[in-house]
Chains A and B, each alone.
Chain A
């Protein structure tokens, strides 16, 4: 499939945006400016980018603990994301959620998630809703290799296939669940094989090749929109950082790490853009600068944002009432 130049440039921008946002988050975490858990997507940007480039604003996604990339690719706002990581009142969750719980209902982002395997089931519900209401919306479910050992994965694939629901299951096989290599958590290599049990197409693609991901997702999304049911796409990729910031990742063999860093998806796109003369070096620089500015703006926005008022802690538990404040 040939991809229009416009889309190539857009995808490059998205990948870079994710990389630069997370590099900032990484540094802020190291400085102690961001507390809690931060799971980085560095090295895996091509997956979310290639998939989401095919989605409409009103399509849905479910995400994981490693959600920054999914959210940005689906149109999440850098400012509100950075503010949430900073625990500010202007953040997506008003400082109540943090990195692992960012959602944006206006963009169909049904939330990052702290529970491994929870998104599988939720995506089925969103797809059922689209089918029920007779819209042409689809839901993309992003999840990791190790999450496919939860019962929810199997339950969801079965139900989605049985009811021909418009779900696209995107497995990000980054070879690890925390410290456990894939060969130590399941007896198969290609997770796409599991599609056979549920009578849906299952394919494996190079998850560090944004165009391969784009093409595969395009077809699966079309299939889902036309009412022909779900597809399982396995994207082979690699997490370049530790499981979360603070994990040195010593269980990853150095040669493996080096091999995958060589396959980093972003330089690959840059090379493609230059080779195909879609843009020249200086135009690429301009894009990089443009994104740097966006990131700086987001940091400034977050820094200048107020902390949540202490009263706000009892708000948002219910739609129609506030919790009692503790009597001190």
Chain B
């Protein structure tokens, strides 16, 4: 069946809510309003206000409540309206959720999911457009998921809810409307398994989120020039499927890493450092990293376009290796 990205996330949550009555949703305007982007629309009518809870504007309390209820037997899904607002709840994630299990000697489970819409391209400027993956991939104790297609969003959402660890679930806001075929056999997709989105032999492109689609577009253009590009979407940033990445590099010997984050300190840097460290002998060229400019996201569409990495940047980056 055909499904939008947005419906896929909802369907994943719906399935898990049906299966387990301890799964519940909380967040700002997630109830009758259906969430700022409409992801929870209809779930309130189906499950009522006990399981789809509108909260005050209190991100610290939203995430804190998720942590406390996860520690005591529930499986919360917390929605932050924009990923950018997580700064207000950072202590609950970084010092509490991520570390509790370890500090308590492994004697506690924290099955919680925090959903965060991220990414630029809608002129929402500096405080509503960020790509903040690296803030979380840096913190031991968190799993980080970032799907790029409806099918993956659905299956990964199910796995995230079933996982006994805190999971950060990123959703690129420009992908919400994207609609593709989703198999009728709805089932979880395990965390930590990358997907080869397009097979190729000359160069490996590792892309996340919306950039996966830019990478596919670049690969189609380069195919016409005789360059065969393999596009890999890790789908989960942590755990990271190194095997799929490394076997591709053994074949292509060239790698470009593209993420929408600011290039400085982004998770793309971690991936490329890891490749340089562990696959040095397989490489024919230094790893190329592409990311956003290191500036806050500007408002004017003309400026925003300059800051966000695009398909041409990927093509240029690949050509530098030949």
The interface of chain A, by Cβ under 8 A from chain B, is: 35-37, 84, 87-88, 93, 95-98, 100-101, 113-117, 146-147, 149-151, 177-180, 184-186, 251, 307-308, 310, 312-314, 317, 323-326, 328
Contacts and interface: CB of A to CB of B under 8 A. Distances in A.
Interface in B279-322: 290, 293-296, 298-303, 306-307, 309, 312-313, 316
A178 B61 CA distance: 18
Given A96-B299, A150-B88, 8 more contacts: A36-B125, A96-B125, A150-B59, A178-B29, A178-B36, A179-B32, A185-B54, A313-B293
B74 interface: no
A178 B298 contact: no
Contact of A149 (B57, B84, B293, B302): B57
A93 B293 contact: no
Interface string B56-93: 11111100000000000000000000001101100000
B47 interface: no
B28 interface: yes
A184 B300 contact: no
B128 A151 contact: no
A113 B293 CA distance: 23
Contacts of B312: 328
A150 B316 CA distance: 46
10 nearest A-B pairs in the assembled complex, by CB-CB distance: A87-B300, A98-B299, A114-B127, A149-B56, A95-B300, A179-B33, A36-B123, A35-B123, A96-B298, A185-B56
A152 to B, nearest CB: 8
Contacts of B303: 87, 95-96, 308, 310, 312-313
Nearest to B316: A328
A179 B300 contact: no
B193 interface: no
B29 A179 contact: yes
Interface of B: 28-29, 32-33, 36, 54, 56-61, 84-85, 87-88, 122-128, 263, 290, 293-296, 298-303, 306-307, 309, 312-313, 316
Contacts of A97: 125-126, 299
A284 to B, nearest CB: 36
B299 A101 contact: yes
Contacts of B307: 313
Contact of B124 (A37, A93, A314): A37
B302 A308 contact: yes
B299 A313 contact: no
Nearest to A328: B316
Contacts of A314: 293, 295
The A interface, classified by DSSP as helix, strand, loop or mixed, is: loop
A114 B299 contact: no
Given A314-B293, A317-B294, A323-B293, A100 B125 contact: yes
Contact of A96 (B124, B300, B313): B300
A149 B296 contact: no
B54 A326 contact: no
A95 B299 contact: yes
B300 A251 contact: no
Contact of B88 (A87, A100, A115, A178): A115
B57 A185 contact: yes
Contacts of B126: 96-97, 101, 114
Nearest to A144: B57
18 contacts: A35-B122, A36-B124, A36-B299, A87-B302, A96-B300, A98-B300, A101-B127, A115-B85, A149-B61, A150-B57, A150-B59, A150-B60, A150-B88, A185-B56, A307-B300, A317-B295, A323-B294, A323-B295
B213 to A, nearest CB: 19
Q: Among A35, A186, A310, find the residue whose CB has the most chain B CB atoms closer than 10 A.
A: A35
A84 B298 CA distance: 12
A317 B39 CA distance: 34
A328 B54 contact: no
Contacts of B32: 179, 251
Given A87-B299, A178-B36, A98 B56 contact: no
A74 to B, nearest CB: 21
A310 to B, nearest CB: 5
A115 to B, nearest CB: 6
B296 A317 contact: yes
Nearest to B262: A323
A93 B299 contact: yes
A184 B31 CA distance: 11
A98 B123 contact: yes
A98 B126 CA distance: 9
Given A87-B300, A93-B299, A179-B33, A324 B58 contact: no
Contacts of B300: 87-88, 95-96, 98, 307-308
A151 B60 contact: yes
Contacts of B295: 313-314, 317, 323
A96 B295 CA distance: 11
Contacts of B296: 96, 317
Given A96-B303, A151-B60, A310-B306, A36 B122 contact: yes
A98 B303 CA distance: 12
Contacts of B302: 87, 95, 307-308, 310
Contact of B125 (A98, A115, A149, A177): A98
A115 B127 contact: yes
Contacts of A178: 28-29, 33, 36
Nearest to B28: A178
Contacts of B58: 149-151
